[in-house]
Amino acid sequence: MTFRKLCFILAGIAILSFAAGPATAADTIKLAYIDPLSGGFANVGDAGQKHFQYMADIINGRGGVLGKKIEIVPFDNKISAKESLIQLKNAIDQGIVFITQGNGSSVAGALIEAINKHNKRNPENPVLYFNYAAVTPAFTEEKCSFWHFRFDAHVDMKIAAITDYIKGRSDIKKIYLINQDYVFGHAVRDAAISMLKEKRPDIEIVGNTLHPLIKVKDFSPYIAKIQASGADAVITGNWGADQSLLVKSGKDSGLDVEWYTFYGGGLGSPAAIGAAGEGRLKQVTEWHNALSTEENQPADEKFYLGYQEKYSDGGRAPYYYGRIRTMMEMFVLALEKAGKAEPTAVAFALEDMQYDTPYGTVTMRGFDHQLIQPLYISTMTKVGTQGVKYDVENTGLGWKTDGRVEAEDTAMPSPCVMKRPKK
């Protein structure tokens, strides 16, 4: 036997030992959770998984749905579109037909495309996708798909809520826009400019800056520009380090503005921003941890504390995605209404479904699959002052509601033209 032959035989054995994926029995209803579970964004992905697991615990504690338990099956996509598509195949191979994902519009866009193609090419074996956090408006507008449901308010809806709130704040005269230089940042900027012009034509937009994504370490030059412009408020879609460094840098320069953000309470941000955000940092969300006390909802408070007890890692990663609760409850209702765990039937059941959350009725709009829900503007406030009871991420700072924007006021028109399968 030659050395080369030996190598071939060993290689052959290695190939044969690679077995095909295992088949799974359908004794549970599986929801594939495709999000980053390793690498730089794993903290966000882990937190999302805990939210879903908590909801599954609760639903299964009630006896499950259709006589079956719900099982969350995590898949690590490392926030890469490529790996997400491979993991999607993996999930489909395991017989999973319900997919959820939230982090990164790049991943969401890739999944929507891939699921559209899969369902077209394999009509007998469709897959349904629930998006809980990717906010590019196009997903429920030009790119809308029958197989995609979004449970988060998209960029334009969030800006609509912020501008609705600013409409009533006559003390704000000058606004500065600073955003990351990519599609999302551009969308925030454009929406803010057009809606401010419409709702408060007297407001002057004193600056409009884009900066490269996650490349800026020192924001003080930008702060100097904001300072020089004399702005009263800043609207920004920045997330992660771009947001924390911006707000911290503002505090260091004594910049006196209100920060209107999307992700001020986003996982990890409160700890990173800390005291720099007190009284200044505002966020727009469908839920925050002071709502239950402010609106006297003991059941929701119990729900929140249950999560804090079991999954929050000693309070360091608190409950954040109010919409995951809404999504899972609506998923259960849709399964019951459809009577079977079959994607097409569940999708039809979800269309135009209404659901009563502790904070008002939400509607899954049928023609574009966008959830319409009330939104809250809240400010980072020290615990113990102004009735704030719970802090976030052990910072001693919590949230206090400034205003509520009703669901119908956040609804945006959509040019969606959807192709539907036969019922």
What residues numbered 48-67 form the site for other proteins, per CB under 8 A?
49-50, 53
Distance from C-alpha of 189 to C-alpha of 206, rounded to nearest angstrom: 13
- State the nearest-atom distance from the C-beta of 300 to other proteins, in Å: 22
Q: Residues 99-128 vs other proteins: string with x where CB under 8 A?
A: -----xxx-xxx--xx--x---x-------
- State the nearest-atom distance from the C-beta of 317 to other proteins, in Å: 7
Distances (CA, A) of 4 to 10, 11, 14, 17: 10, 11, 15, 20
Closer residue to other proteins, CB minimum distance, 196 or 273: 273
Tokens of 366: 């049928």
Residues numbered 208-267 forming contacts with other proteins, rule: CB under 8 A? 209-218, 220-222, 224-225, 227-228, 241, 244-245, 248, 251-255, 267
Distance from C-alpha of 329 to C-alpha of 356, rounded to nearest angstrom: 10
Distances (CA, A) of 55 to 152, 280, 330, 340: 17, 32, 12, 20
Closer residue to other proteins, CB minimum distance, 89 or 337: 89
Distances (CA, A) of 349 to 29, 146, 232: 17, 12, 46
Distance from C-alpha of 362 to C-alpha of 121, rounded to nearest angstrom: 33
Residues numbered 119-178 forming contacts with other proteins, rule: CB under 8 A? 121, 136, 138
Among 15, 299, 422, 423, the residue binding other proteins under the rule CB under 8 A is 15
The reply to whether 405 sits near other proteins by the rule CB under 8 A is: no
Residues numbered 20-49 forming contacts with other proteins, rule: CB under 8 A? 20-21, 37-40, 42-43, 46, 49
What three-state secondary structure class fits 386? coil
Closer residue to other proteins, CB minimum distance, 76 or 152: 76
- State the nearest-atom distance from the C-beta of 223 to other proteins, in Å: 8
Closer residue to other proteins, CB minimum distance, 94 or 363: 94
- Give yes or no for a contact between 257 and 176, defined as CB atoms under 8 angstroms apart: yes
State residue 203 phi and psi, 5-degree precision: -75, 135
Residues numbered 76-95 forming contacts with other proteins, rule: CB under 8 A? 76, 78, 80-83, 85-87, 89-90, 92-93
The reply to whether 374 sits near other proteins by the rule CB under 8 A is: no
Beta-carbon contacts of 61 under 8 Å, excluding residues fewer than 6 positions away, are none
- Candidates 193-201, 284-292, 310-318, 351-359 — which segment interacts with other proteins by CB under 8 A? 310-318
The reply to whether 75 sits near other proteins by the rule CB under 8 A is: yes
Closer residue to other proteins, CB minimum distance, 88 or 334: 88
3-state secondary structure 190-240: HHHHHHHHHHCCCCEEEEEEEECCCCCCCCHHHHHHHHHHCCCEEEECCCH
- Give yes or no for a contact between 374 and 406, defined as CB atoms under 8 angstroms apart: yes
- State the nearest-atom distance from the C-beta of 50 to other proteins, in Å: 5
Closer residue to other proteins, CB minimum distance, 125 or 361: 125
Closer residue to other proteins, CB minimum distance, 249 or 292: 249
Phi/psi region, residue 254 (left: phi>0; alpha: psi -120 to 50; beta: rest), is: left
